[in-house]
Amino acid sequence: MHPGDANYKHPDRPQEKITGRASGNNRIKQKSTTNSQFPSSSKANYLLPFDILGGRSHSEWYFYSMIILDGRVASKAIKEKLSNDVKVLVSKGERPPHLAAILVGKDPASEFYVSSKVKSCEETGFKSTLVKYEDVSEDDLIEKIVELNKDETVDGILVQLPLPRHISSKNIISAIDPEKDVDGFHPVNAGNLMLGNESYLPATPYGIMLLLEHYKLDIKGKHAVVIGRSNIVGRPISILLSNNTHPGNATVTLTHSQTADLGKICADADIIVAAIGKPGFVKAHMVKDGAIVIDVGINRVDDDSPKGYKITGDVDYENVAPKTSYITPVPGGVGLMTIAALLKNTLKSRLLRI
Ligand code: NAD
């Protein structure tokens, strides 16, 4: 049966019911999902403007009920579980997990990320220590990390990136004890990830995998296209998606700034992971109908709001979302999962220390 047929059921999707389908007034009401596995906040029920149909007639349009992969819902569920685990730990007379975060400089975005991580620690019963430097030398920063490495009451150490130019991120990351490297950036953890050994997974790719798991998305045999090859997002998520795990077993194409015919490669993707750092880079014509789109980008774009800017992703959400089967919003998607994954790693480190 053709996906455009009214009774078509996507093989990998929950049962759906078309709630309205107007014709002639240039608008289509999208379907709502009836699957209770998804929280109501994840259900998208919106009007699709005619121009988004890209010139196709309504009967040709592939009716996908777009579902938002809601990082708020999934991270809340993970944090509730973590919070319970901490309560059990403490009830046995053990100390709670302890995350030490280091922030250098006054970059507002970095300040925001670190304070979100500290706040999440408080919410879940973790202890956190924030070490803040307006400026610091590389040697002094390494000295601080060595001190935290030795501190038996500290389970996880994270250094918020990017660092000022006079400090080598490579040297700083290498100074962290791999057993406390809850961001998963240390070469030992990166190597173990590559080899499929036990390791601390980098928080953002791990968060994406947790999101896929939360929404029970089976990506086995699907074609995943990752845009971006950074060590903290693109490259590790390409490995995790291709691993022989569940979720996993996707066939992955890793693309980057020198990739030829990126649009064509993306248009063949069942799953797109966008980690580029360019607002609205992924356009509707690059996305196959019914694709799953994971937007990792966090970009500040100037606007007329009182703040003077808004946060947007790497995906042209407004035009891409109606074509997708699942999509992450920005904000409210991968960013929150990154924090949940970081806390999971910190608890893991605490439990390994008992
Ligand atoms: P990066 O700058 O290290 O890497 C960007 C990648 O994009 C590079 O590998 C580059 O090859 C690729 N790229 C650039 N231009 C391209 C083009 N025209 N076509 C194809 N590929 C191109 O960035 P990063 O650290 O991986 O971060 C990417 C984005 O994700 C940023 O917006 C960042 O803020 C965001 N991010 C979000 C989280 C989160 O928790 N949500 C975590 C980390 C990074």
Residue 246 confidence (pLDDT) above 70: yes
Cα of 277 from ligand 1 centre, angstroms: 4
* Spatial strand order in the sheet of 292-295: 67-68, 326-327, 292-295, 271-274, 223-227, 251-255
Which among 130, 205, 189 is positioned nearest to 160, based on CA atoms?
130
pLDDT, position 64: 58
The 10 Å CB-count burial string (b at 16+, else e) for 94-110 is eebbbbbbbbbbeeeeb
Known active-site residue 344: no
- Give yes or no for residue 297 CB within 6 A of ligand 1: yes
Q: Rounded mean pLDDT of 192-221? A: 97
Q: How far apart are CA 181 and CA 174, in angstroms?
A: 9
- Give yes or no for residue 234 CB within 6 A of ligand 1: yes
User: Can you state the angle between helices 203-214 and 334-352, rounded to 10 degrees?
Assistant: 100
Active-site residue identified among 31, 85, 160, 295: 160
Residue 87 confidence (pLDDT) above 70: yes
Residue with the bigger pLDDT between 313 and 56: it is 313
Q: Which amino acid, 227?
A: I
In this structure, the residue with its CA closest to atom 16 of ligand 1 is 257
Q: Rounded mean pLDDT of 76-100? A: 98
Cα of 296 from ligand 1 centre, angstroms: 8
The average confidence (pLDDT) of the chain is: 86
- Give yes or no for residue 330 CB within 6 A of ligand 1: no
Tokens read off for 232: 């903290």
Cα of 183 from ligand 1 centre, angstroms: 17
Known active-site residue 283: no
How many C-beta atoms lie closer than 10 Å to residue 268's C-beta? 11
**Coil, strand or helix at 214:** helix
Please enumerate, as own/partner, the contacts of 263-271 that have beta carbons within 8 Å and a separation of 24 or more. 265/225, 266/225, 266/227, 268/223, 268/225, 269/223, 269/224, 269/225, 270/219, 270/222, 270/223, 270/224, 271/219, 271/222, 271/223, 271/224, 271/225, 271/241
Cα of 275 from ligand 1 centre, angstroms: 4
Active-site residue identified among 70, 183, 270, 314: 183
Q: Which of 54-58, 102-106, 319-323 has the lowest mean pLDDT?
A: 54-58
- Give yes or no for residue 259 CB within 6 A of ligand 1: yes
- Give yes or no for residue 299 CB within 6 A of ligand 1: yes
- Give yes or no for residue 341 CB within 6 A of ligand 1: no
- Dump strand ranges (E) for 147-270: 156-159, 223-227, 251-255
Which among 237, 233, 224 is positioned nearest to 297, based on CA atoms?
233
Known active-site residue 144: no
Cα angle vertex 173, ends 169, 176, to 5°?
150
- CA 252 to the chain's CA centroid: 17
In this structure, the residue with its CA closest to atom 1 of ligand 1 is 230
Mutate to test the pocket of ligand 1, among 112, 231, 264, 298 (most ligand atoms within 8 A of CB): 298
Q: Which amino acid, 7?
A: N
Q: Give the end-to-end CA distance of the chain in Å, rounded to a whole number.
A: 56
How many C-beta atoms lie closer than 10 Å to residue 111's C-beta? 14
pLDDT, position 303: 95
Q: How far apart are CA 108 and CA 294, in angstroms?
A: 25
Over residues 296-345, the pLDDT tens digits come to: 999 999 999 999 999 999 999 999 999 999 999 999 999 999 999 999 99
Mutate to test the pocket of ligand 1, among 158, 232, 276 (most ligand atoms within 8 A of CB): 276
User: Can you state the angle between helices 234-242 and 187-195, rounded to 10 degrees?
Assistant: 30
Pairing verdict, β 127-133 and 98-104: parallel
Q: Which of 11-20, 97-106, 152-161, 201-210 has the lowest mean pLDDT?
A: 11-20
Q: Domains in the chain, start-ordered, CATH in brackets?
A: 17-68 (no CATH), 93-180 (3.40.50.10860), 202-335 (3.40.50.720)
Residue 108 confidence (pLDDT) above 50: yes
Mutate to test the pocket of ligand 1, among 230, 235, 282, 317 (most ligand atoms within 8 A of CB): 230
Cα of 310 from ligand 1 centre, angstroms: 18
User: Of ligand 1's atoms, which has the minimum distance to the CA of residue 338?
Assistant: 40
Over residues 62-81, the pLDDT tens digits come to: 455 899 999 999 999 999 99
Q: Rounded mean pLDDT of 26-55? A: 37
Cα angle vertex 343, ends 341, 349, to 5°?
105
